[in-house]
Amino acid sequence: MTLIKSISGIRGTIGGGAGVGLNPLDIVKFTSAYATLIRKTCTVKSNKIVVGRDARISGEMVKNVVVGTLMGMGWDVIDIDLASTPTTELAVTMEGASGGIILTASHNPKQWNALKLLNERGEFLNAAEGNEVLRIAEAEEFEFADVDHLGSYRKDLTYNQKHIDSVLALNLVDVEAIRKANFRVAIDCVNSVGGIILPELLKQLGVQHIEKLYCEPTGDFQHNPEPLEKNLGDIMNLMKGGKADVAFVVDPDVDRLAMICEDGKMYGEEYTLVSVADYVLKHTPGNTVSNLSSTRALRDVTRKYGKEYFASAVGEVNVTTKMKEVGAVIGGEGNGGVIYPESHYGRDALVGIALFLSHLAHEGKKVSELRATYPSYFMAKNRVDLTPETDVDAILAKVKELYKDEEINDIDGVKIDFADKWVHLRKSNTEPIIRVYSEASTPEEAEEIGQKIMKVIEDLAK
């Protein structure tokens, strides 16, 4: 059993004793702490909090505990039930609510669940707010409402359609072009809420032919739910049979988007954002942002339009903060997370799909041909295991000094930008390891530069 309390929420495996797994006692404590923080910090005059969930088997249980706790804290709950993470984010602002809780463990397997916490803008809490929730929970500094001030409950199942409407209303979503292109689209929704909303989105975008895989929202995931190539054999085989022009794969809460070409090959999740950004920049030139561990191809595409690319620390809240700071027109994360401010400041696979299909329709190319138009980079991901006694910060400082003649970014670990490749070193907050991400123009070069820096770290650790 595992329970992880962090600034981005509470996450754990279902069951076990208090403080051991994700169980009702800890859910009550954490929800009460969040409700207390929102009461103190919220600037909108609303007594509403939105609750949405993915289709996990434990979702109904967790939701009932969260809803009851919020009502016990005096909040009026809007229960949008089975809904994607971006749907819940949008519902917060559409409702004029004070905050929202999303019940999803994202790409974690079915035994996990989590509470993701939103502010009144439908965006994730920042680090300071997340820490304050942890502090309040630990101190149990919360007070429940008396009988005359209990919160109310309302179920509202209209938000999936409202989310789709908001996507269709975006200026750059060209429904007419998509309809005319007569695309055949396959989807793998890994038995969660994508199976409810994606077929509807595609129909309303004018897609007539939809091949569905694992669209029943049972929460009994038919494969590892992280949308990586090693987990997607079934849909890749379906594509090899020539049944569709493109396949879209989402994780259980639909904020990440992976794509598969018409020949059954992966498009590359790093290139979801690159392709969408190319389309957005073509029509609305502006700055872009992704995190330090994302592909350099976004920088290349941005510069093609004479605009500037900026890197943020890893984590969605860091990306959105940087996007606001530099006025980015598009941004996101290399894990298939597209953030389009014209819609909202959150990763949204629905927005990604609609913009990508618009782009594909305008280009008139096969998906594999479109992919071939972008700079080709390959990434390697490694880790160096150290002892608990190792001073990881001191090692990172020495690496930085060793490579001071290269372009260095130290807002999140150490990133060394060479002329034709890069390496990003990040320390784990929970164990004595350094994660080593590297990218170059061939897989061999990416692995080679990663191994070279790993050797440096190992030597420094001796």
**For 56-101, what is each residue's pLDDT tens digit?**
999 999 999 999 999 999 999 999 999 999 999 999 999 999 999 9
What percentage of the chain reaches a pLDDT higher than 90?
A: 94
260/239 same-domain check: yes
**Are residues 148 and 203 both part of a single domain?**
no
Which is nearest to 413 in space by CA: 391, 386, 435? 435
Contact between 292 and 311 (Cβ < 8 Å): yes
Cα(71)–Cα(150) distance, integer angstroms: 6
Same domain, 2 and 63: yes
User: Is there a single domain that holds both residue 188 and residue 310?
Assistant: yes
Helices (H) and strands (E) in the chain, counts: 15, 20
CATH of the domain at 98: 3.40.120.10
Of 139, 155, 171, the domain-final residue: 155
Options 106, 166, 192, 312, the catalytic residue: 106
Same-domain check for residues 222 and 141: no
* Alpha carbon distance 424, 155 (integer Å): 45
Helix axes 59-72, 24-41, angle to 10 degrees: 50
Q: d(Cα 126, Cα 103) in Å, to the nearest integer?
A: 18
Residue 406 belongs to domain spanning = 376-459
Q: Which residue has the tokens 């890893």?
A: 314
Do residue 190 and residue 46 come from a single domain? Answer: no
Same domain, 313 and 208: yes
Task: Tell which of 370, 396, 418 closes a domain.
Answer: 370
Q: What is the DSSP letter of 230?
A: G
User: Do 60 and 2 lie in a common domain?
Assistant: yes
Q: Are residues 186 and 269 in the same domain?
A: yes
15-49 pLDDT tens trace: 988 889 999 999 999 999 999 999 999 999 999 99
- pLDDT at residue 1 greater than cutoff 90: no
Of 342, 370, 398, at which residue does a domain stop? 370
Grade residue 418 by pLDDT with cuts at 50, 70 and 90. Answer: very high
4 and 33 share one domain? yes
* Domain total in the chain: 3
> Would you call 343 a catalytic residue per the annotation?
no
Q: Is the confidence at residue 430, as pLDDT, over 80?
A: no
User: Residues with Cβ < 8 Å from 3, sequence gap 6 or more?
Assistant: 10, 11, 12, 13, 16, 19, 20, 21, 22, 26
Residues 108 and 217 in one domain: no
6: burial class by Cβ within 10 Å (0-12, 13-18, 19+)? middle
Buried b or exposed e, range 321-343, using 16+ CB within 10 angstroms: bbbeeeebbbbbbbbbbbbbbbb
Q: pTM of the full predicted structure? A: 0.96
- Mark whether 168 and 314 lie in a shared domain: yes
Q: What is the pLDDT of residue 450?
A: 97
